[in-house]
A and B are shown apart, each in its own frame.
Chain A
Amino acid sequence: ETVMTQSPATLSVSPGERATLSCRASQSVASNLAWYQQKPGQAPRLLIYAASLRATGVPARFSGSGSGTDFTLTISSLQSEDVALYYCQQYNDWPPLTFGGGTKVEIK
């Protein structure tokens, strides 16, 4: 099973500043990595797939990078509506599909 580890657990960022979230896989997942955003009381929403491709309708301030075992989700200029939990998920080697533990992004 590929274990996904996200850091930090909580990230406090001032409005307009950059937020950088990390995701590490226990073994290579190539570029088979997705990122999701989950706001309180809502279902997850796909943001990024194939490590760096934005899903339909996702603002350009969200970008993904990385391959192999180390990945980054960057929010270039944090907006108040970006306060949420963010999860990475690998789909290179399954079952099982595995998610990271999540990073909570809050406004400083």
Chain B
Amino acid sequence: EVQLVESGGALAQPGGSLRLACSASGFNFNIYPMSWVRQAPGKGLEWVSAVNPSGSTTYYANSIKGRFTISRDNSKEMVFLQLHSLRVEDTAIYYCAKRSDYGAFFDSWGQGALVAVSS
């Protein structure tokens, strides 16, 4: 069974930093691209970032480009999202998501990590 478990969510101040982690199990992690998707309170889903299986190629939404960094450690079966220069509008639940075999959509999701940015 595929399991994705996020951690690292917390309350941060504007301008601050956080690091989210996603621990994966139940599938061959090394061959799957992974993404982060976020959901602001009461709002819809917003794709944030993706990383290819080797970690050599990354993609970002314009709203976070230059502030967030995605990475992965295949030996630990983990994917990370480093958040810098946080803004109030970054407040959201951040989901780790596994890409499907059949295209850039998501067949498994974690339970989410809450990031709250407030002074």
Contact with B along A47-84 (1 / 0, CB 8 A): 00110000100000000000000000000000000000
In contact, A49 and B105 (Cβ under 8 angstroms): yes
Q: B103–A91 contact, CB under 8 A?
A: yes
Residue pair A89, B105 in contact (C-beta under 8 Å): yes
Q: Which residue of B lies closest to A101 (CB)?
A: B44
- Asked if B31 lies at the interface with its beta carbon under 8 angstroms from chain A, I say no
Assembly CA distance A32 to B39 (angstroms): 22
Measured in the bound complex, the distance between the Cα atoms of B43 and A100 in whole Å is 11
The answer, yes or no, to whether B100 is at the interface (CB within 8 Å) is yes
Number of interface residues, chain B, beta carbon within 8 A: 23
User: Is the Cβ of B109 less than 8 Å from the Cβ of A96?
Assistant: no
Q: Which residues of A contact B47 (CB under 8 A)?
A: 94-99
Interface of B is mostly: strand
Q: Answer whether residue A11 sits at the interface, using C-beta atoms and an 8 A cutoff.
A: no
How extensive is the interface on chain A, given as a class? 20 to 34
Q: How far is the CB of A12 from chain B (nearest CB, A)?
A: 19
Chain B 53-65 interface 0/1 with A at a Cβ cutoff of 8 Å (1 = within)? 0000001111000
Cβ-defined contact, B44 with A100, below 8 A: yes
Contacts of B106 in A (CB 8 A): 34, 36, 44, 46
Q: Which residues of B contact A (CB under 8 A)?
A: 35, 37, 44-47, 50, 59-62, 95, 100, 102-107, 109-112
Q: A46-B106, A49-B103, A55-B107 are in contact. List 11 more A-B contacts (CB 8 A).
A: A36-B106, A38-B45, A43-B95, A43-B110, A43-B112, A91-B103, A94-B47, A96-B59, A96-B61, A98-B47, A99-B46
